[in-house]
């Protein structure tokens, strides 16, 4: 009868946790619902100017917190993006915040006026005394990190994770935590505990995942900068879906220790913590602040690599990956990529089509490494009746319940009878792996990484451009059919290269109608949800990729892309 009791415990704890969140929201003081001052100057400020104004005493840390706290409350009402509301604690942290701090340059000295140049801003200001939002995985002492599992509710953490300790030491003020999907393996953000997070541009569509609560909050204006995680695109796809900025760091560049994971110990394709922001300027200021705090002194897995201001040649070579050979990009995504390459070419940069080792081959191995236990670890906390995300659940069925011979027969049928070599290649080897089988996959991963680097060097690339996903934001529950179209982001976790996303344009019903037919089952699953008319107005981004551990250069390349777009008349406003 354990399953019977587990079902009712699940229902009870989900309701109790939602009630607890509601109580935290309604108990906030009056300034969070009826502010006495116009807070629009704070919300419209760049991160560098915000920090400068706090340091000069123009704004207090509490005033900034209340401005973003009020906006976060509004974002929660519209998108259901919050999990833990830490604002009362943040008020106390803000009172103690060192507004000169270890990152503030010369204490008491006013900063020069801020220009629109993100790289210039980074030389003047750092991340002190401003609110920071956190994905629910980030451990904060005294608060849950249940990440959607009802069994993990009401088990507050005893101490802060590495990134939270670093941020507090820097004078930043964590103030809310944000929603994520159960198991953290989806481009949707739903769980039974907190419910579904929606896209601020269209509530019928996903904000992405698994850092979808962050993307919804930041896009709504409820946070200027936040922290998410990425193992297959989990900061980049949400940024693309919601029209914000992010840079997935290489492993070892950003602290991740001491936090909560659905798959602790998974090392085949490592997850990485990374920043998400409303502007490229804020992204750069925040990332530099974290690196300047010497994250290797907070997390033993971080490389002792100080910030290096990039010195790039005036003209660069950008490779372009127009398709991963699995799912061709939707018209809106392909158009955004073309806008970028045309703008860069107009500025004199070289544009070449990049031919990497087979991305399908990478997707095959990466998916097996990521879920080498066939989901057993991620499913352990589940109670009877607890819903899994539809896409991951569909993937688990053949992994866990079909015997190997049946999968091989199924794959043969898909390939030889249905003529779909792509889908066949993916499903053939899904399943739990022995230790020896995992080692074989790791050897293949390292072989692929060497071949990828050789292709990059042989083709003389400085950076690479591609779409962040084949689709813009998709309707809720579409991940049941689109879960396998993650290759454009997963590839760069697999090779461990930094990859940033910036918004470029929005879906245009007149320009972005789909006229072609799908060529395989993965593509068919993704394309069935595309409707250029219904999707009109949704954000569309581009992905900018650099070499491993070269986050500074990749950030600079993002600035170059955005500047070229603006020079060509394409100026996206978040």
Residue 322 and residue 334: Cα distance in Å, rounded? Answer: 7
For the beta carbon of residue 15, count every other beta carbon within 10 angstroms: 12
Q: What is the DSSP code (8-state) at residue 182? A: G
Q: Of 111, 133, 135, 279, which is the active-site residue?
A: 135
Which residues share a beta bridge with 503? 541
Q: Where are the beta strands (DSSP E) in 38-182?
A: 82-85, 131-135, 173-178
**DSSP secondary structure string for all residues of 537-554:** T-EEEEEEE--TT-HHHH
From the number of C-beta atoms within 10 Å of its C-beta (0-12, 13-18, 19+), residue 64 rates as buried
Q: How far apart are CA 143 and CA 21, in angstroms?
A: 11
**Within 347-434, where are the H helices?**
359-370, 376-379, 390-401, 404-412, 421-427
- Rg of the chain's alpha carbons, rounded to an integer? 23
Torsion of the alpha carbons at 237, 273, 211 and 139, rounded to the nearest 10: 180
233 known ligand binder:
yes
Does 210 participate in catalysis according to the annotation? Answer: yes
- Between CA 417 and CA 82 the distance in angstroms is 47
Give CA–CA dist 329/461, Å, rounded. 22
184 is in an annotated binding site: yes
Residue 279 annotated as binding? no
Residue in 111, 210, 250, 274 annotated catalytic: 210
525: which 2 tokens? Answer: 């699953």
Pair 469, 485: CB distance under 8 Å: yes
CB-based burial, 93-124: b 16+ in 10 Å, e otherwise: bbeebebbbebbbeeeeebeebeeebbebbeb
Which DSSP helix (H) or strand (E) runs through 264? none
Q: Which residues contact 24 (CB under 8 A, 6 or more apart)?
A: 84, 85, 87, 88
29 is catalytic: no
Q: Is 232 flagged in the annotation as binding?
A: yes
538 is known to lie in a ligand binding site: no
Annotated active-site residue in 234, 250, 279, 424: 234
CA separation for the pair 128, 105 (Å, rounded): 11
State the DSSP code for 148.
Answer: T
d(CA 209, CA 224): 19
Euclidean distance between CA atoms 336 and 332, whole angstroms: 6
Instruction: State yes or no: 283 annotated in a binding site.
Output: no
Token representation of residue 372: 């080498």
Residues with catalytic roles: 135, 210, 234
Give binding residues for substrate as ranges: 184, 210, 231-234
Give binding residues as ranges: 184, 210, 231-234
């Amino acid at each position: 009868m354990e399953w019977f009791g587990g079902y009712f415990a699940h229902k009870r704890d989900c309701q109790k946790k939602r009630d607890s969140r509601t109580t935290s929201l309604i108990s906030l003081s009056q300034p969070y619902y009826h502010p006495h001052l116009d807070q629009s100057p704070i919300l419209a400020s760049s991160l560098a100017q915000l920090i400068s104004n706090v340091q000069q005493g123009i704004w207090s840390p509490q005033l900034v917190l209340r401005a973003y706290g009020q906006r976060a409350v509004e974002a929660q009402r519209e998108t259901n993006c919050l999990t833990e509301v830490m604002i009362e604690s943040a008020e106390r942290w803000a009172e103690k915040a060192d507004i000169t701090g270890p990152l503030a340059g010369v204490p008491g000295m006013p900063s020069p006026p801020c220009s629109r140049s993100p790289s210039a801003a980074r030389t003047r200001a750092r991340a002190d005394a401003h609110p920071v939002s956190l994905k629910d995985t980030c451990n904060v002492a005294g608060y849950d990190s249940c990440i959607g599992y009802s069994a993990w509710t009401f088990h507050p953490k005893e101490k802060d994770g590495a990134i939270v300790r670093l941020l507090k030491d820097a004078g930043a003020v964590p103030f809310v935590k944000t929603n994520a999907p159960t198991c953290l393996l989806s481009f949707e953000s739903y769980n039974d505990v907190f419910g579904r997070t929606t896209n601020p541009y269209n509530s019928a569509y996903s904000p992405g995942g698994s850092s979808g609560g962050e993307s919804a909050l930041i896009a709504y204006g409820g946070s200027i900068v936040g922290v998410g995680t990425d193992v297959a695109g989990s900061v980049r796809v949400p940024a693309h879906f919601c029209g914000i900025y992010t840079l997935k760091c290489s492993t070892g560049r950003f602290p991740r220790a001491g936090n909560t994971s659905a798959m602790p110990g998974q090392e085949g394709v490592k997850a990485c913590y990374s920043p998400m922001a409303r502007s490229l300027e804020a992204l750069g200021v925040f990332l530099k602040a974290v690196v300047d705090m010497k994250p290797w002194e907070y997390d033993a897995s971080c490389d002792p690599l100080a910030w290096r201001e990039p010195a790039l040649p005036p003209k660069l070579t950008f490779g372009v990956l127009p398709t991963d050979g699995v799912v061709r990009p939707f018209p809106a995504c392909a158009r955004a990529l073309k806008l970028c390459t045309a703008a860069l070419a107009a500025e004199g940069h070289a544009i070449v089509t990049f031919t990497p080792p087979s991305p399908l081959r990478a997707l095959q191995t990466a998916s097996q490494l990521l879920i080498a236990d066939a989901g057993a670890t991620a499913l352990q906390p589940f109670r009877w009746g607890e819903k899994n995300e539809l896409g991951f659940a569909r993937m688990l069925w053949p992994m866990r319940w079909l015997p190997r011979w049946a999968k091989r027969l199924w794959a043969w049928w898909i390939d030889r009878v249905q003529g779909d070599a792509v889908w066949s290649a993916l499903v053939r080897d899904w399943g739990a792996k022995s230790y020896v089988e995992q080692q074989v996959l790791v050897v293949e991963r390292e072989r692929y990484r060497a071949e990828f680097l050789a292709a990059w060097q042989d083709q003389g690339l400085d950076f690479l451009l591609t779409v962040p996903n084949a689709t813009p934001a998709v309707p809720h529950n579409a991940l049941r059919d689109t879960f396998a179209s993650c290759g454009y982001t997963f590839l760069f976790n697999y090779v461990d290269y930094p990859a940033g996303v910036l918004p470029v344009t929005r879906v245009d019903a007149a320009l972005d109608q789909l006229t072609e037919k799908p060529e395989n089952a993965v593509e068919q699953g993704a394309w069935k949800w595309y409707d250029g008319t219904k999707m009109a107005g949704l954000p569309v981004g581009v992905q900018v990729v650099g070499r491993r551990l070269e986050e500074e250069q990749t950030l600079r390349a993002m600035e170059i892309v955005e500047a070229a777009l603006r020079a060509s008349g394409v100026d996206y406003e978040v």
